[in-house]
Structure 1
Amino acid sequence: MSDVVLKGLRKSFGALEVIKGVDLHVASGEFCVFVGPSGCGKSTLLRMISGLEEQTSGMIEIGGRDVSRAEPKDRGIAMVFQSYALYPHLTVRENIGFGLSLARRPKAEIAEKVAEVARVLQLEDYLDRKPKALSGGQRQRVAIGRSIIRDPQVFLFDEPLSNLDAALRAQMRIELTELHARLGTTMIYVTHDQVEAMTMADKIVVLNGGRIEQVGAPMDLYDNPATPFVAGFIGSPKMNLYEGETARALGAGSVYGIRPEHVTLSESGGLWTGTVRHVERLGADSIIHIEATGLGPLVARVEGHRAFAPGQIVHASPIDGREVRY
């Protein structure tokens, strides 16, 4: 078993408390993603699990064992960072096997394990290359391979794809998800990108200001956001949110929300009337930015071939039952 359990975890830097009492259970074999804006505490939380940062109070258990005061090397974890941190003078083969070489494991054992890791990560054709001869995605796979070879209980990923371009990030999301399916190892992954969280996670932990806002499966958070913060953070484009008198006029207590994909547009009639300000054509979809009377800015997501233009008067309506109210 490789469950990760956090109990009352807190972290302060002097008078500043950055993690404010976190309780969480990551089940064995889960792909769990910590997501939130910059400064929310997600990387600090990951570093405490790894042992690179000492908690002020609380308990960390990995595989049923209290590791709260254990050294990183004794926690059964492997960590992959944003930077690849490869040795430039070593080949891919030597980089992957470096930890085992340092531990003076038999050469035959190292060769066998390196070959297996290279097969899993599709690096077999690159084993004799130096890092400078690899693409960014290949370098990141080598960094992951160096962790896999240690056979850890838990993998920790700290924004590992943020240095890659958009196409490589999309490719690596698929590769990491497939890798998790093959290994079945518990993985905890930190990102500020809610698209990464939605497309990769079994479980998402949304953090805000050092606290957990909501924990759940991706579509649970999308369909049933527990707080206005989660509603506005999960989903792309972000949810339309209205507060105060506008929210109360729409039947909400303090906040009313509707996702762009749940707004219908018509040229003949609807609940709201507005003027198109801008159109983003994405191919299959178009994002329509509207200045709506009585609402203010409203964003709608429609089928890409529908013809809307700046300055056009349109009528918008929410799809019944898809609104959120707080």
Structure 2
Amino acid sequence: MADVVFTAVQKRYGAVEIIPGLDLTIPDGSFTVLVGPSGCGKSTLLRMIAGLEEVSGGSIHIGGEDVTTRDPSQRGIAMVFQSYALYPHMSVADNIGFGLKLSDMPKAEIATRVQDAADTLQLTHLLDRKPKQLSGGQRQRVAIGRAIVRKPKVFLFDEPLSNLDAALRAQMRVELAELHSRIGATMVYVTHDQVEAMTMADRIVVLKDGHIEQAGAPMELYRKPATPFVAGFIGSPKMNFITGEEARKLGGDTVGIRPEHLRITADAQWQVTVRHVEHLGSETLIYVTSDSLGPLTIKTEGDIGIDPGQQVRVGYDSADLHRFKSGARAEVYT
């Protein structure tokens, strides 16, 4: 296991600067998720840790060792990609152990490591099968097993669940979190999906345009977002934002409130018009609007008898408001 330390790291492609100078420490043994929209630099950072992208400036240390110019094979990392990249003619066992075979490791040691990885990932009963006989989730576990047998200092995951359907993604989120708990290794995981970040990470780094907007524990970012960008990116449905005169009345240039913190009551502060209602069983999402507030989303538990076109009153507690000044970080947190 090892920490990963970026010091003034830059990445340029010609005159185009992708990472303008980034400082970040990924703690030893953490499950750190790099999250942000497409083009924010998260995959570039991961690939620089792996040695697949050259560092234009600054340094990267893994476990206290400067690996900035080292080859990928000398960094003590293992990477799991979005594509499973399994050899179709090989069995699961051979796929998991292939990298070890190339390094001339003794057969007995390879067999032991493959068996240990299969036990960890619940693949023991599948070791003789070919990839075409596996489900998507099983194939991804084989790819993870291929990383585990190398016993790396750091595991790197580049959007590994994006090819799976919703049910399998949910299952694999649990399995990856459990895997981290069992082996305790440093894991760095890239995704654009904030649900993946919130459910798996013990630390989230939110990126925007190559800069770190905020880093911290998932619920810290949810409860105390430092910028409107973080506030809007973390949480589902995303935070409501109010601007203009109504925001200034509430004490900010931009004021945010989460959908679950809005309530519909007869004596509430705002009158709005219902645009659309989504009945999701255990909860209901209500989309409303008004001239002074703009569009808002309300999240309530269970079902609720409200129809589009209806006028309702919506309220809030002042403690649930997030007030942001233009160009500054949040002044008031929940």
What's the TM-score, normalizing by structure 1? 0.98
* 2:280 pairs with 1:282: yes
Q: Secondary structure at the match of 1:222?
A: helix
User: 1:300 is matched with which residue?
Assistant: 298
Deviations 1:160-199 (A, max 9, x none): 0000000000000000000000010000000000000000
Residue pair 1:274, 1:291 contacting (<8 A) in 2 also: yes
Task: Report deviation, 1:239.
Answer: 0.3
- List per-residue Cα deviations over 1:132-181 (Å, max 9, x = no partner): 11000000000000000000000000000000000000000000000000
Calculate percent identity across the aligned residue pairs. Answer: 63
Is the counterpart of residue 320 in structure 1 residue 327 in structure 2?
Answer: no
Deviation string 1:277-307 (CA, Å, 9 cap, x unpaired) is 1011111110100012410101100112221
Greater shift after overlay, 166-175 or 104-113? 104-113
- Give 1:308 shift: 1.3
Q: How much is the aligned-residue C-alpha RMSD, in angstroms?
A: 0.9
| Paired residue secondary structure (2:267) | coil
| CA distance in 2 between partners of 1:247 and 1:58 (Å) | 41
2:143 is matched with 143
Shift of 1:320: 2.6
Q: Does 1:88 align with 2:88?
A: yes
Amino acid at match of 1:22: L
Name the residue aligned to 2:244. 244
Please give the secondary structure, in 1, of the residue aligned with 2:318: coil
Provide the C-alpha distance between the structure 2 equivalents of 1:314 and 1:188, rounded to a whole number of angstroms.
Answer: 45
SS at match of 1:187: strand
1:5 aligns with 2:25: no
| Deviation, structure 1 residue 310 | 0.8
The DSSP-based 3-state class of the residue aligned with 2:119 is: helix
Count of residue correspondences: 324
Q: Name the counterpart of 2:259.
A: 260
How far did residue 23 of structure 1 move? 0.6
SS in 2 for 1:8: strand
How far residue 243 of structure 1 moved from its aligned partner, in angstroms, is 2.4
Task: Name the SS of the counterpart of 1:97 in structure 2.
Answer: helix
TM-score (norm 2): 0.95
Report the equivalent of 1:119: 119
TM-superposed CA distance for 1:246, in Å, is 3.2
Q: Which residue number corresponds to residue 78 of structure 1? A: 78
Q: Which residue of 2 aligns with 1:171?
A: 171
CA distance in 1, matches of 2:33, 2:208: 14
Q: Deviations over 1:38-63 (max 9, x none)?
A: 11010001101110000110110000
Consecutive aligned runs of 4 or more in structure 1 exceeding 6 Å deviation: none
Counterparts of 2:63 and 2:51, CA distance in 1: 15
Q: Structure 2 CA distance, aligned partners of 1:186 and 1:137?
A: 22
Structure 1 residues without counterparts, runs of 5 or longer: none
